[in-house]
Amino acid sequence: MLPVSLKRYAWLSIAAALTTILLKGVAWRLTGSVGLLSDALESFVNLAGALMALAMLSLAALPPDDNHAHGHGKAEYFSSAFEGFLIVVAAAGIAYAALERLFNAQPLETVGLGLGVSVAASIVNFATARILLAVGRTYGSITLEADARHLLTDVWTSAGVIVGVGLAWLTDRLWLDPAIALLVAANIVRTGWELMRRSAAGLMDASMSEPELKRIGQILESYRQHGLDFHALRTRQAGRRAFVTLHVLVSGTWTVQQGHDWCERIEADLRRTIPHLNVTTHLEPTEDPLAHADLELDRPID
């Protein structure tokens, strides 16, 4: 079950989003910059994403039940997919406002104060993102990690907007403000696409990461010295929980108890190496030809 503390971090993200909406909104009203407006609009996406993250973390924390025997961990992927979709929608709104301002340039006002407020908002986002990223990696939460990466993207986006507005103000080239806003929109689309792609991979039962597969391989290799062999290894990631199934081949002369004891050792080693791992082993006698006939997911019917 997910620690209650993870939901607290979702509340932290919500608080940060509300704070940055207020600060960036003030910055936009002070300057009239469409670049700063685009930055403020993305903060609404941050808020929606944080609210969705809270809902999905709560759902993912539910224990397995009769209809969800493997738990509710995949709910986290809905959060990141939803956030990715909102990012793309926000990018379309930003691009529309930027194109309109590009052909109807307007002077910027109170730029120094407005940029100062925007910098303060970026500091809030950066600090929150660092916390969420550390917690997400520690607990294996794709929801918090996705939220953190979105906030970090927002920080760099804000930096670009601040530079664009500053240059437009200093050089009196007002087209720089909407031009930067268009670049911001393009960057936001890239982030949204990446979030949706990663979410789709999780919902499609994507395999565990290469480093984790390598660690699994090293553990299994250590057991081959004791006369065991393995095949039909399959892995999948479901939010913070991962699943591994494999066939363990032993001598047909072993007793059931011997084979069971070795399987228990293997499963324990794998769980110690990879947190939140569910392992299922299937014991087979290595001398039986049928033990080598079920390597594929769909075994042919005799």
Write the DSSP string, 233-249. EEEEEETTEEEEEEEEE
Q: Give pLDDT, residue 244.
A: 93
From residue 86, alpha-carbon distances to 52, 83, 93, 196, 293 in Å are 11, 5, 11, 10, 47
Reduced to 3 states, what is the DSSP secondary structure of residue 283?
strand
Q: Indicate if 245 and 152 belong to the same structural domain.
A: no
* Residue 251 sits in the same domain as residue 177: no
The residue ranges of the chain whose pLDDT is under 70 are 1-5, 33-35, 38-39, 69-70, 97, 101-102, 105-114, 160, 169, 177, 239, 295-302
Q: How far apart are CA 122 and CA 214, in angstroms?
A: 38
49 shares its domain with 90:
yes
CA–CA distances in Å: residue 7 to residues 3, 58, 62, 221, 244: 8, 7, 13, 39, 27
DSSP symbol at 300: P
Whether residue 299 lies inside any domain: the answer is no
What is residue 289's DSSP assignment? G
CB neighbours of 39 closer than 8 A, spacing ≥ 6? 24, 27, 28, 118, 121, 154, 157, 158, 161, 184
CA distance 263 to 258: 9
Tell me the residue range of the domain where 276 lies.
Answer: 210-292
Residue 2: per-residue pLDDT:
44
Measured distance CA(149)–CA(141) in Å, rounded:
12
Let me know whether 74 and 181 are in one domain.
yes
- Residue where one domain finishes, among candidates 161, 182, 203: 203
Q: Are 208 and 236 in contact (CB under 8 A)?
A: yes
State whether 177 and 248 are in the same domain. Answer: no
Q: Domain check: are 214 and 130 in the same one?
A: no
- 138 residue type, one letter: T
- Indicate the residue type of 250: V
Tell me the pLDDT tens digit for each residue of 104-155. Answer: 766 555 556 667 777 888 899 899 999 998 888 887 777 787 788 778 777 8
Looking at the fold, whether 99 and 247 belong to one and the same domain comes out as no
Establish if 275 belongs to a structural domain: yes
**Mean model confidence pLDDT for the chain:** 79
Question: Do residues 177 and 166 lie in contact, with contact meaning Cβ atoms separated by under 8 Å?
Answer: no
Q: Residue 7's pLDDT is what? A: 82
pLDDT tens track for 282-301 = 999 988 887 777 766 666 66
Residue whose C-alpha is closest to residue 76's, from 136, 11, 141: 141
Tell me which of 203, 219, 246 is where a domain ends. 203
Q: Are residues 125 and 19 in the same domain?
A: yes
